[in-house]
């Protein structure tokens, strides 16, 4: 991890934002796991570095931004790996899997893009495919307060941001092979997204707000509490 990036995420950013972390940091930084999160705004990538201390944080970055100089700079500074959008980029996928097996932590947003409404979009299976291929445990993480519109509004009025990062329990996806692979991939993607949804306030659950699995997870959590 770049020293400057760690310094900004850990020391500078908390001066302008109240960041509440509801997570076992030791578990998150154990390595060899995939952190799956919702995607609200441009600050989400920086939040990964605030949350994690692992020296190898793996963040894919879609190549649709590759021709923009500013995005290229941020991809370099945040040590992101370009991922070809809309196809199986096997070169990048092999790199991700190798780094995971060496103890890296991969951060993915299954939605594939920022949600302009702040509520969950339908998840895409591409990111989940990487976790499944690596056999890595997945830790769902819910983010609130990083919406681009909210960030601009609060900073314009010189008000501190209010950000929460909430992690759920790790779990491992079942093997996805054979003729049923496509259906199993979709089921796995729904499971990951439902687990993220269950960690979010109701207004953020979007596409998954009425999924029975979300209600099941919420009821289970209430019983434990």
Question: Is residue 130 in a domain?
Answer: yes
State residue 87's pLDDT score: 63
Q: Does residue 1 form part of some domain?
A: no
Q: How confident is the model at residue 156 (pLDDT cuts 50, 70, 90)?
A: very high
Output the average pLDDT for the chain: 87
- Percent helix, strand, coil in the chain, to 5, is 45, 15, 35
State both tokens at 43: 């600050």
The secondary structure of 106-155, three-state, reads EEECCCCCCCCCCCCCCCCHHHHHHHHHHCCCEEEEEEECCCHHHHHHHH
Q: CA-to-CA distance for 50 and 11, rounded, in angstroms?
A: 9
pLDDT of residue 224: 57
**Alpha carbons 129 and 55: distance in angstroms, whole number:** 23
Residue 2 lies in a domain: no
Q: Is residue 154 scored above 80 in pLDDT? A: yes
Give the total number of structural domains in the chain. Answer: 1
Residue 210 pLDDT > 80: yes
Instruction: Please indicate, yes or no, if residue 22 is contained in any of the structural domains.
Output: yes
Q: For residue 170, what are its two tokens?
A: 């790790």
Task: Please name which of 43, 49, 27, 36 lies closest in space to residue 126, comparing C-alpha atoms.
Answer: 36
Global pTM?
0.88
Domain with 145, as residue range(s), is 7-224
| Per-residue pLDDT band at 119 (split at 50, 70, 90) | very high
Classify residue 208: in a domain, yes or no: yes
For residue range 46-96, what is the model confidence (pLDDT) as tens digits? 899 899 988 889 888 777 767 777 777 877 777 777 777 666 678 888 888
The pLDDT score that the predictor gives to residue 6 is 84
Q: Is the pLDDT of residue 36 over 80?
A: yes
pLDDT in tens, 137-150: 999 999 999 999 99
């Amino acid at each position: 991890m770049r020293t400057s990036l760690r310094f900004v995420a850990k020391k500078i950013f908390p001066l302008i934002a109240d960041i509440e972390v509801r997570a076992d940091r030791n578990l998150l930084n154990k390595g060899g796991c995939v952190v799956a999160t919702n995607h609200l705004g441009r600050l989400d990538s920086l939040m990964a570095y605030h949350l994690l201390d692992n020296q190898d944080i793996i963040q894919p970055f879609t190549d649709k931004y590759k021709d923009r100089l500013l995005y290229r700079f941020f991809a370099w500074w945040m040590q992101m790996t370009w991922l070809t959008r809309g196809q199986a980029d096997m070169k990048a996928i092999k790199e991700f899997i190798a780094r995971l097996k060496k103890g890296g932590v991969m951060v993915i947003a299954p939605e594939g893009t920022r949600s302009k409404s702040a509520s969950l979009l339908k998840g895409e299976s591409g990111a989940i495919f990487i976790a499944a291929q690596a056999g890595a445990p997945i830790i769902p993480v819910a983010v609130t307060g990083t919406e681009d519109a909210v960030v601009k509004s609060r900073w314009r009025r010189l008000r501190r941001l209010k950000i929460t990062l909430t992690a759920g329990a790790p779990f491992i996806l079942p093997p996805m092979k054979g003729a049923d692979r496509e259906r199993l991939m979709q089921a796995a993607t729904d499971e990951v997204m439902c687990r993220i949804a269950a960690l979010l306030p109701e207004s953020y659950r979007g596409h998954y707000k009425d999924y029975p699995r979300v209600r099941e997870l919420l009821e289970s959590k209430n019983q434990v509490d």
